[in-house]
Structure 1
Amino acid sequence: MKRTHFLLAIVLASQLVTFAQRKETAGKSPWGFNDEIGTLNLMSDVSRLNVLSQIKSGKIYDLSMTYFVGMPSFSALGDPGYQYWLTHTPHGTIVDNPNGLGKTMNSKVSYTGDAISMYTHMGTHIDALNHFGLDGKIWNGFTPEEHLGDKGWKKTGAETIPPIIARGVMIDVKASKGRLPNNYRITSNDLKDALKKQRTRLEPGDIVVIRTGQAEFYQHADHYLDNYPGISLDAVKWLVEDHGIMLLGADNLSFEAFPPERKDNWVPVHTYLLAEKGVMFIEQMNLEELSDDNVYEFAFIAASLKLKGASGSPMRPLAIPINSK
């Protein structure tokens, strides 16, 4: 018995060493050397029509967050917060007469205009494949030396992200496990348990969004940003490698949890998905209404702003319930 335990310990130790030493490298796309959208290539006219044909309701769930001054942001990393200001007001137009049409016209026709300034990774947004790389390369081997100019990336910028229509599945981990502890790392077993309770199955090419429950604190930035739970490397590998998931999303700030689970990489889930596998994901989603109505399968419809060269872009995803299979 002791010998058996000893041999088992050696095997486990060797597996841990192998995992610790596994080389993380930017992946090469199976869709060709010019590919810029990774697994979104799994969409087709046929797949989009298939999911749209399964819609059973006219009710639409808005999975996006509202933008407002004071909203949660990555200010801890030095990135700018959301700013909003008025450029024209009804009374100010009367006083300033910027259009040169005089007080009578400007008193009759009121004019309001405004502007915003923001980090592209604020609110509900999608991470483009150039957002994180490994050893100087991003997805498909593109490099900053060759593909990054003064006006952004010339490859995999947010403008390349197509409109997305596919079968969506929400995995409600919060409903399955209850309130998640601070910095909790969601495992593949957590996902399996939730799917079993929901009686939902995954299919290749799905979009999977994960509810941690963090969205309920979104109006209170300090709480939303504080020690939030997220997904583990084990869980995303199970989704991508075992189930062929096309796109991922979650309701927390940064998808994965911190502190990082690898000592040699501060964002191992980001680099695994974006740089190694070409899988984009959406952060800071609102999944509360889906959870309230127990909607787990839906037509996912979304498009992001075509921000040329950008590493991310605001997105407004919608969910429309479909017939369960």
Structure 2
Amino acid sequence: MPDTPVDGSSDPLLDAVRAGVRVYDLGRRLTIGMPQSPNHPAYWHTLPRRHGDAVRGDGGSAANDMLVMGTHVGTHIDALAHVSQDGRLHGGADAVEAGTGGRYAELGVHTIAPMMRRGVLLDVPAVLGEHCPPGYEITPEDLDAAERAQGTPVREGDVALIRSGWGRHFDDPDRTVYMGAESGVPGVGEAGARWLAERRVHAAGSDTIAFERLAPGQGHALLPAHRVLLVEAGIYLVETMNLEEVAAERVHECTFVLAPLPLYGATGSPVRPLAVVPDHRASATGGHHG
């Protein structure tokens, strides 16, 4: 990559920022009691020191925090070490041996490079004419229809974001609704996962708790899309995303930005993904909006 110009010449990235961009937050707020997979340790936040517990001689005081949580809670990314099939990880590594010492040195989340890639939102409810029903399997035909309707074909190296509309349940007072253990949760199945793998996407995300379809009453008993994408194809998964705002504003294409925490040897990481697009409001008014 060439050095950043220092002589006043144009730099495309800085020019885009100066012209004005809009940033959409695709991550969920982390709160105690939020809906999550029952397979992972829950999020907990506490203040071991509060203001006034210790006061300096000049009257200053500081508070600090302690977090306890699983790495697959809230909006998060799955590393390739997260899922195995028949005792093997992506690339054929022995899953037990790979975790010797309590960490996955080769396929852990620390090996995921920060992402700045083309993102494509595939808004399935927009082509169905309704939110995906509980337990609905998003088919390759649905994904094809979304591509055509939006004019945003998914290409190799992209990040594909699949909206089912289920994200509207995340803040439901009954936190079990979003989890959908009895009702089921919409999402792609094995066929939809192969559709993504054939396009050689870099990562795929969704607005649901497990990325893929959960059949009514079966919970996380079978996860074929995880097998296809993580184990067979080496495609990262981002789960529990907030895709409602970008869908409402018809942001079907963006610069997708994501950086996992460099948790050495971990199977996943909390993330705060961003969708960045030109801000046409700034162009219209001559101003700048972040």
TM-score by length of 1: 0.74
State whether structure 2 residue 94 is matched by structure 1 residue 157: no
Runs of 4+ in 1 over 6 A off after TM superposition: none
Aligned residues of 1:168 and 1:206 also touching (Cα < 8 A): yes
- Preserved contact between residue 297 and residue 322 of structure 1 (Cα < 8 Å): no
- Which letter does structure 1 place at the counterpart of 2:44? Q
Residue segments in structure 2 that go unaligned for 5+ positions in a row: 3-11, 280-290
- Do the aligned partners of 2:37 and 2:179 also contact (CA within 8 Å) in 1? no
Matched, 1:168 2:125: no
Q: Does the residue aligned with 1:152 lie in a helix, a strand or coil?
A: coil
CA distance in 2, matches of 1:146, 1:232: 30
CA contact under 8 A between 2:48 and 2:64: conserved in structure 1? yes
Q: How far apart in 2 are the matches of 1:54 and 1:296?
A: 22
Q: 1:53 to 1:213 in 2, by over 3 A?
A: farther
Which residue number corresponds to residue 22 of structure 2?
59
Instruction: Supply the AA of the counterpart residue of 1:225.
Output: M
Find the aligned partners of 1:142 and 1:215 in 2 and give their Cα distance.
Answer: 35
CA RMSD in angstroms, aligned pairs only: 2.3
Partner SS state of residue 149, structure 1: coil
Deviation at 1:288, TM superposition (A): 1.0
Return the letter of the residue paired with 1:212: S
Letter of the 2:52 partner, please give it.
H
d(CA) in 1 for partners of 2:226 and 2:243?
Answer: 21
Structure-2 separation of matches of 1:224 and 1:271? 23
Structure-2 residue corresponding to 1:224: 178
- Matched pairs, number: 258
Q: Shift of the alpha carbon at 1:244?
A: 2.3
SS at match of 1:168: strand
The aligned counterpart of 2:227 is: 271
Give the one of 189, 196, 203 matched to 2:141.
189
Q: CA deviation at 1:57?
A: 4.5
Label 1:54 to 1:216 Cα distance change in 2 as closer, same or farther (>3 A): farther
Report how far residue 322 of structure 1 moved: 5.8
Asked if 1:239 is matched to 2:196, the reply is yes
Q: Is the 8 A contact 1:62 1:316 kept in 2?
A: yes
Change (3 A) 1:53 1:170: farther
Amino acid at match of 1:216: R
- In structure 2, C-alpha distance between the alignment counterparts of 1:248 and 1:52, rounded to whole Å: 25
Unpaired runs of at least 5, structure 1: 1-44, 95-100
Q: Note the alpha carbon deviations across 1:75-99, whole angstroms, 9 max, x for none.
A: 2x3x3211111111113225xxxxx
Which one-letter code corresponds to 1:91 in the other structure? G
- Give 3-state SS (helix, strand or coil) of 1:235's partner: helix
2:33 match: 70
Give CA-to-partner distance per residue, 1:165-197, whole Å, 9 cap, x none: 111100001222112111101001111112222
What's the CA shift for 1:233? 1.3
Question: How big is each residue's C-alpha offset from its partner over 1:224-272, in whole Å with a ceiling of 9 and x where there is no partner?
Answer: 112221112111211221x222211101000111239xxxx82111011
Q: Secondary structure at the match of 1:209?
A: strand
CA 1:317–1:294 in 2, change beyond 3 Å: closer, same or farther?
A: same
Q: Secondary structure at the match of 1:91?
A: coil
Structure 1 residue aligned with 2:41, among 64, 67, 80?
80
Q: Is the 8 A contact 2:131 2:166 kept in 1?
A: no
Q: For residue 89 of structure 2, what is the aligned residue in structure 1?
A: 138
Change (3 A) 1:278 1:116: same
Larger Rg: 1
From the superposition, tell whether residues 310 and 236 of structure 1 become closer, same or farther in structure 2 (CA, over 3 Å).
Answer: same
Q: Measured at CA, do residues 194 and 54 of structure 1 come closer, stay the same or move farther in structure 2, by a change above 3 Å?
A: farther
Q: Take 1:258 and 1:211, find their aligned partners in 2: how far apart are those partners?
A: 15
| 1:202 alignment partner, one of 141, 154, 161 | 154
The SS at the match of 1:234 is helix
Match of 2:76 among 105, 109, 125: 125
Q: Indicate whether 1:215 and 2:176 are aligned.
A: no
The answer to whether residue 65 in structure 2 is matched with residue 114 in structure 1 is yes
CA distance in 2 between partners of 1:212 and 1:144 (Å) = 32
Residue identity in the other structure for 1:200? T
Tell me, in whole angstroms, the C-alpha distance in 1 between the residues paired with 2:156 and 2:15: 17
Contact 2:79 2:267 in 1 (8 A): yes
Check whether the contact 2:21–2:278 (CA below 8 A) recurs between aligned residues: no
CA contact (8 A) 1:88 1:112 kept: yes
Percent identity between matched residues is 34
The answer to whether the Cα contact below 8 Å between 1:57 and 1:320 also exists between their aligned partners in 2 is no
Q: What SS does structure 1 have at the residue aligned with 2:21?
A: coil
TM-score (norm: length of structure 2): 0.83
Higher helix share: 1
Deviation of residue 54 (structure 1)? 10
CA 1:185–1:211: 2 relative to 1, 3 Å: same
What is the SS of the residue equivalent to 1:286?
coil
